[in-house]
Structure 1
Amino acid sequence: MTAAATAAKRIGTDAIPVRQMDFEFDEAISTFWFDGDPLRTMILTALSGTFPEGERMFMRSVRHYQSNLKDPELRQRVKAFIGQEAHHGKEHQTFNDMMTRKGIPVDKIDAYTKMGLKRIERFYSPGRVLAKTCALEHFTALFAELLLAHPELIDGVDEPLKPLWIWHAIEESEHKSVAYDVYQEQVGGYWLRVSEMAITTVMFSFFSALHTAQLLQAAKDQPRTRRWRLKDRVQGMWRHREVLAELGKHYLTYYKPDFHPSQKDSRALRDRGLALLTAYVGDKAHISA
């Protein structure tokens, strides 16, 4: 890592609190909880379906190197990272179970994700598994900070579900550099990092689309208040073209040799997110478990 990147990596590094949210989701929540829109609902539901097993892989990948870490501060951050990711898996499992009870087979996505990630861990080296974690953490941080910068993107989400997504976004931003720092200290290597990002981008895009299509097919007979129209999708993407361009720009920074996740100072975004979360859950937003 260059001197500039080493200096920049400290920007925006804050404490990583492990919040215990214990969300409960009322069965009265609509099946199509994103503005009555099947597509947007199932995109996020499919993503949530991968979270419990995905978070467990992230934890295993950093835990593999945990006892060898030289930096005591990084060891503490890894503990907090594992704590946050464990709670993410737990809370999204609660959400996934609710959707499964509504007839949306999120449990099948969970099972498929578990099988696929176990296979990856069997054939990949520990260093490449960690590189995949870094790549996926970059994706989650991108989407998280996009939400924190543009909370209007989830205006149509049913109110009881907004805290789940806001809380998850805050914590993804808080720990976005942890796996990367473990990689840099214990593995290193530019080509391994960026080659795995390229592979992960293809896999993430393919399986996100596949799982969304599977859930939409399963939900085709569910009563709905809105009809899906291609014209609406195109118009929606055009309205958010600047946001999508911003997302693409930040994605590409990962391929820079001197990249570090915390080169983007996200403290103001997290503060904004915490204010939103506090309005929903009160002091839970600020108390570490």
Structure 2
Amino acid sequence: MQNPTPKDLTIRPRQLDFALPAPLPRHWHGGDAFKSHFFNAMSVQFPDGERFFIESVRLFREQIEDPLLKEQIRGFIGQEGHHSREHQHYSEHLRELGYDVDYLERGLKRRIGWVQKHFRPELQLAATCAVEHLTAIMADAVLKDPQWLNGADLLMAKLWRWHALEETEHKAVAFDVFNQVSGQAWYRRRAMLQSTFFFTIDTFKGLAHMLKRDGLLWKWRVWRDGLVWLWGRNGILRKLVGVYRDFYRADFHPWHHDNLYLVERYRAEFDEPAAAAS
């Protein structure tokens, strides 16, 4: 399969030049509990998830001879390491608000440990490819669809744009490694089915837990408005169904969804201030 990853794509980690608001507003997404906790529930999964992604790629790092891909692997590891750290800080803010982050992390930690013990390295890498596709299509939407972050706290919105930019930059790294060491479409299709199921369960679990702690779990308007935001006629997730399904094609590659223009647009937000300060 031809590799359509842009040859001049630079992948490098960025240090955030700001801290999250302290204390974190409980409903930082425009006062909306459902929207805030949807993002919070995803964030709780990232510290352990990003570390798993790094390790699954490292298992094959020495087998890669392409100097460009080797450099991109280094950038991928650096970016994912920073994401894990920043979302760990995010989790600490959630703990301070009274949410049981340890409870939410426990099942994911146990599942990752089981996968690393019982799954072949190729299957672990396929799982990373699958989740990277989920995060890539959501990152693309965060960067181009105002519905995702309209009304959010400015610093929280900036955190998610930073994460989305870097997810977009490195969206094909694990996939390109997988194609070099395996390329079995069946592996990644199965991994996507499993990853979609568990990502959905973990996100719903986190969302429900935080709404319960807020005394809003059984408020039907909260669920009505939230589900319309996710899956209504113009729902943010409903718009992603087509690009999600593309992953199951035998000839799929992440850069078939060419959004390099978004990378160039949002690099200005994060790279130019850093260059001016140096």
Same fold? TM cut 0.5: yes
Q: How does 1:1-289 map to 2 (within 5 A)?
A: 1=1, 6=2, 9-11=4-6, 14-21=9-16, 23-220=18-215, 228-233=221-226, 235-236=228-229, 237-238=231-232, 240-241=234-235, 243-275=236-268, 277-278=269-270, 283-284=273-274
Give the number of aligned pairs. 276
**CA root-mean-square deviation:** 2.5
More deviation, 103-112/146-155: 103-112
Structure 2 gaps, min length 5: none
Using a 3 Å threshold, how does the CA distance of structure 1 residues 227 and 37 change in structure 2: closer, same or farther? farther
For residues 242-287 of structure 1, give each alpha carbon's deviation from its aligned partner in whole angstroms, at most 9, with x where no partner exists: x544311100110111100011211112233334x34xx8623899
Corresponding letter in the other structure for 2:247: Y
Contact 2:23 2:93 in 1 (8 A): no
For residues 136-179 of structure 1, give each alpha carbon's deviation from its aligned partner in whole angstroms, at most 9, with x where no partner exists: 00000010001111134201211121111000000000000000
- Aligned residue for 2:232, secondary structure, equals helix
Task: Report the TM-score when normalising by structure 1.
Answer: 0.87
For residues 48-88 of structure 1, give each alpha carbon's deviation from its aligned partner in whole angstroms, at most 9, with x where no partner exists: 00101000000000000001112121111101100000000
- Tell me which of the two structures has the higher relative contact order, counting C-alpha pairs closer than 8 angstroms and 6 or more residues apart: 1
Distance 1:266 1:12 in 2: 15
Contact 1:24 1:94 in 2 (8 A): no
Identical amino acids, percent of aligned pairs: 33
Distance 2:277 2:82 in 1: 14
Using a 3 Å threshold, how does the CA distance of structure 1 residues 91 and 191 change in structure 2: closer, same or farther? same
Contact 2:29 2:153 in 1 (8 A): yes
Corresponding letter in the other structure for 2:194: I
Task: Report the TM-score when normalising by structure 2.
Answer: 0.90
Distance 1:272 1:228 in 2: 37
After TM superposition, which residue ranges in structure 1, 4 or more long, deviate above 4 angstroms? 285-288
For residues 217-242 of structure 1, give each alpha carbon's deviation from its aligned partner in whole angstroms, at most 9, with x where no partner exists: 223289xxx9943442355343524x
Using a 3 Å threshold, how does the CA distance of structure 1 residues 123 and 149 change in structure 2: closer, same or farther? same
For residues 175-202 of structure 1, give each alpha carbon's deviation from its aligned partner in whole angstroms, at most 9, with x where no partner exists: 0000000000012211111111112112
